[in-house]
Structure 1
């Protein structure tokens, strides 16, 4: 029997939008993450984030088709000189937002989400020092129950 994608198991696009909204709220409540998250960003930030995560976890390629590739996403965050514990705080907010969004409590599902977010934070933080250059043409990573797929580095 074939397992559904993480995207399908989570509940599809509505689940990822709920996750993005809950994550944004959690970041606003964090005393360190509040600063970058409280500045006006793109008016569709939560929808874009939901589309990105949905695509990562096996959903439609709406982010890639509408907003660009992984390089475009990383470029938004590059060169920001992040504080040391920012990544840890971001992951913690994400994991709490999974609960806030009412996503399935399945341990394997939750472990997959957590593993992805830890990988994603490490990846983005690689480009946080001032002057960092993001390679062009990086595809949106794909993540499954078994971890990174296709050309996504582990």
Structure 2
């Protein structure tokens, strides 16, 4: 396969509309989850859903709208500082997002799902670490641009 012809995870997923479906399905589940809903008293706002959709779109290789409009890494980090996320909450977040990918009709091929779960594991572990009271994250880092890793897109 020509590396220049390999689609981004963003494109493979279906673009911004698919990412938004993923985020909406995720937060719909979060709002009724006893372990995660306390992070969002009163529910998850439309603004929060829109911002997280921009983040995921950028991370998966779409336009850099989160960085351009909302401040990139520093802004995302600020939202997690001091939350005191637990190991159980981290795992529930990752599991719930994986379920939301099914709900949203994202591609089910093993290569895409491996990339999705890879980002979930990496991102949730960073969020957990950076949410602790004694966390000292780097003051600046780029927004990650997640790719396929070792397995290229599935070709039927």
C-alpha distance in structure 1 between counterparts of 2:46 and 2:6, whole Å: 35
Asked if the contact 2:37/2:43 (under 8 Å) is kept, the reply is no
> How much does 1:135 deviate?
2.8
Asked if the contact 1:75/1:134 (under 8 Å) is kept, the reply is no
Residue 112 of structure 2 corresponds to 109
Mark the runs of 5 or more structure 2 residues left unpaired by the alignment. Answer: 151-156
Aligned pair count reads 147
Mark the runs of 5 or more structure 1 residues left unpaired by the alignment. Answer: 148-154
Q: Deviations over 1:20-74 (max 9, x none)?
A: 1011111112210011133456541111111100100100000000001112101
C-alpha distance in structure 1 between counterparts of 2:106 and 2:22, whole Å: 8
Q: TM-score, normalised by structure 1?
A: 0.88
Aligned: 1:91 with 2:94: yes
Residue 13 of structure 2 corresponds to 10
Q: What is the Cα-based RMSD across aligned positions, in Å?
A: 1.6
Task: For residue 44 of structure 1, give the secondary structure of its aligned residue in structure 2.
Answer: helix
C-alpha distance in structure 2 between counterparts of 1:120 and 1:39, whole Å: 25
Give structure 1 regions of 4+ aligned residues with deviation exceeding 2 angstroms. Answer: 37-43, 131-137
Residue 150 of structure 1 corresponds to none
C-alpha distance in structure 2 between counterparts of 1:139 and 1:32, whole Å: 30
C-alpha distance in structure 2 between counterparts of 1:94 and 1:70, whole Å: 20
Q: Say which one has the larger Rg.
A: 2
> How much does 1:131 deviate?
4.3
